[in-house]
Structure 1
Amino acid sequence: MSATVLLQSGGGGGGGNDPVLLPETIANLLGLSGIVGDIVGGLLGAFLIANIMLAMTAVAGPWAKRKITAAFTDRIAVNRIGPFGLLIIVADAVRLLSKELIVPEGVDRPAWDLGPIIVPFSALLGFAVIPMGSGIQLADPETGVVFAFAASSIASLGLVMCGYASNNKYSLLGGLRAVAQNIAYEIPLIVTAASVIIFTGTLRPSEVVAVQAEPLLTVAGVTIPQWFAFVNPFAFALFMLANLAEIGRNPFDIPEAPTEIVAGYQTEYSSVYFVLIYLGEFIHIFLGGALVALLFLGGPAGPVLPGIVWFIIKIWAFFLFTQWARSAIPRLRIDQLIEVGWKGMLVLSFANLVLTAIIVGVIA
């Protein structure tokens, strides 16, 4: 029954009710039109979204990560600098950015310089097509879901550049591990996302969200939306697991395993370059949460509160899940990680895709 509703509501493709995008709203508010309005609206919209993500990352990295990990492991986290230890954000920023940027001998520049820039840039680029609710979306292309995955995968290039250009065997091993891990788990990640696209019949982010706004069933007067986490919980579990590998959280933090390869691809980086890599790591976690929300949790949909509030709640819930995994699940060995990816996740993701296609084909 639910798949029939999904096909009826989501198979249309283009649709006639295109959402009003953020650049257009900004251009109208400023009284601009034409190419000038598009450029100014796009730049200001990108600046706004980037700053929302950077502000959340600033809270997540220096403060929330420590507080959550301490709660899981029964320890005391930062609590001395400012109320609840919040000023550790400022202290860490000053401490890290004021350190000397040490460039080791023999590094391959400019690759060594470009690597830390590519990592956060790729994650921010992915947010260009994510509908955040309340009219906050930069672009809504027909292939927006593919664009988000493609932008996220650019980070692999940055990690390889960091590892190779550092002239350090531990960094090189970290870069090679990152590539092996991303290839092994990006395929199951994308194949699992494809099973959602089979239901929706579109790659356009706003339409993927619109399909999930339809009712799935009503129980005791409460209407449950057809979020794909409810429609296909197996695909949701697969996507969450592959996402942990994509963002490098336990048990998949192999590329920077400190007990084996110092800090992997980021071993030779300090000061602002270390901050950029660290920043990219947490922005990628939020992008992973945004993709989970988009494909399985109805995007920014939710009762009472504005869409942007629900969107932020969902990606922070995903962040909490990653920190739980970091504290509770032991790290795999690199051979175990590759075996789980190629022999387990890949097979299960294709099985889910084929089963989904059969179900949709029978109902259609």
Structure 2
Amino acid sequence: MLQAETPLPDLLANLLGLGGVGVVGAFVAALLASIIVGNVMLAMTGVAGPWAKRKITAKFTDRIAADRIGPKGLGTIPADALRLLSKELIVPEGADRPAWDVAPLIVAGSAMLGFAVIPMGSGIQLADPEVGLAYVFAVASIASLGMVMAGYASNNKYSMLGALRAVAQNLAYEIPLVVTGMSVVLFTGSLRMSEIVAVQQETLVSIGGLAIPSWFAIVNPFAFVLFLAANVAEVGRNPFDIPEAPTEIVAGFQTEYSSVYFVLLYLGEFLHIFLGGAITAVLFLGGAAGPGPESIGFLWFVVKIWAFFLFTQWLRSAAPRLRIDQLIEVGWKGMLELSFLNLVLTALIVGVVV
């Protein structure tokens, strides 16, 4: 098994000579590393939300989309940021503050916390705890709390409906998501994210000189499909966009939000999509593994999470929305049983073969 890479804070501490400063040096290095990773993810989200989403959807629906500001419409990104941030923040009458104020921060912040343990390749990983996978599932699920707070505190029936739908959906699909992820843990014997990636860098089979890596998407495609479906439900994309459902409940839990609060909710939505892609890449697609030297691993990691984003946008254009009763039935009567079946079969294979 390959050795885990040195976490980015330690690399920065050694590079900047902060190793001998003690706790203060470690804190400064961790802060700088967090700023680097956070800004990279925010930059990708800034491109995905106002520009890439529109252009991709336009391609699927035979339209042009954003093309008026800047080359290829890239000027839409700063223009939209300025437009949204300069809007008046309208607080609904009867809103339950500070819950209404804190909810957007929870939705966006929970996704940012998840990236703390993701091994992105090229030495980019903030921390590598032994319970990394459990941690990332735990912090990602905190977003449900933010949605409930937003819906309840808005004093709006449509918002409340969106919040209730969000809770029902996350309960129905988060359990299959975690159980399917545990089947990967049975193969690796570890919750540490770097070790899960390292196991997948071993060669599964060699055909005509071509080495096929032991990515878990190849080893267990059934689990990969289950995890992908549950992941799409977790990030709330079609056919699972029930908590927002614009044609039914305006915008669901975020109906009453405007200005910078809307930006935070919108940001959180896309951050969770990228986090979902990052978790999928780590568990099933070999993390940052790809052709070429290890130094370009981060580029391969970015390609994989953008591929997941493209997949969600394709579903958004191609898949019709399920009814809430259909969504719950698929989750509890289909995904749950299949995820436990996959876990049992994986345990038998590991116990007998491995």
TM-score, length-scaled by structure 2 = 0.98
CA distance in 2, matches of 1:32, 1:95: 41
CA distance in 2, matches of 1:159, 1:38: 34
Q: How far off is 1:82 after superposition?
A: 0.2
- Aligned pairs for 1:75-114 within 5 A: 75-114=63-102
Instruction: Show the counterpart of 2:340.
Output: 350
Counterpart selection for 2:45 from 38, 57, 65: 57
Tell me whether 1:226 sits opposite 2:239 in the alignment.
no
Whether the 8 Å CA contact 1:23–1:44 is kept in 2: the answer is yes
Whether the 8 Å CA contact 1:131–1:137 is kept in 2: the answer is yes
Whether the 8 Å CA contact 2:197–2:283 is kept in 1: the answer is yes
Instruction: Show the counterpart of 2:310.
Output: 320
Q: Which amino acid aligns with 1:167?
A: N
Whether the 8 Å CA contact 1:302–1:310 is kept in 2: the answer is yes
CA distance in 1, matches of 2:259, 2:286: 39
1:68-95 Cα deviation digits (max 9, x unpaired): 0000011111111100000000110011
Q: Which amino acid aligns with 1:186?
A: E
Q: How far off is 1:195 after superposition?
A: 0.4
Q: How far off is 1:18 after superposition?
A: 4.4
Q: Which amino acid aligns with 1:22?
A: L
Counterpart selection for 2:6 from 17, 20, 23: 20
Counterpart selection for 2:320 from 319, 322, 330: 330
Counterpart selection for 1:36 from 24, 31, 36: 24
Secondary structure at the counterpart of residue 302 of structure 1: coil
Q: Which amino acid aligns with 1:218?
A: S
Whether the 8 Å CA contact 2:4–2:198 is kept in 1: the answer is no
CA distance in 2, matches of 1:43, 1:169: 41
Whether the 8 Å CA contact 2:287–2:301 is kept in 1: the answer is yes
Secondary structure at the counterpart of residue 254 of structure 1: coil
Whether the 8 Å CA contact 1:23–1:45 is kept in 2: the answer is yes
Whether the 8 Å CA contact 2:4–2:195 is kept in 1: the answer is no
Whether the 8 Å CA contact 2:152–2:163 is kept in 1: the answer is yes
Q: Which amino acid aligns with 2:326?
A: Q
Q: How far off is 1:19 after superposition?
A: 2.5
Instruction: Show the counterpart of 2:252.
Output: 264
- Aligned pairs for 1:1-364 within 5 A: 17-33=3-19, 34-304=22-292, 306-364=296-354
CA distance in 2, matches of 1:310, 1:262: 38
Q: Which amino acid aligns with 1:168?
A: N
Instruction: Show the counterpart of 1:12.
Output: none
Number of equivalences:
350
Deviating beyond 3 angstroms after TM superposition, the runs of 4 or more aligned structure 1 residues are none
Which stretch shows the higher mean deviation, 28-37 or 42-51?
A: 28-37
TM-score, length-scaled by structure 1 = 0.95
Q: CA RMSD in A?
A: 0.9
Secondary structure at the counterpart of residue 255 of structure 1: coil
Structure 2, gaps ≥5 residues long: none
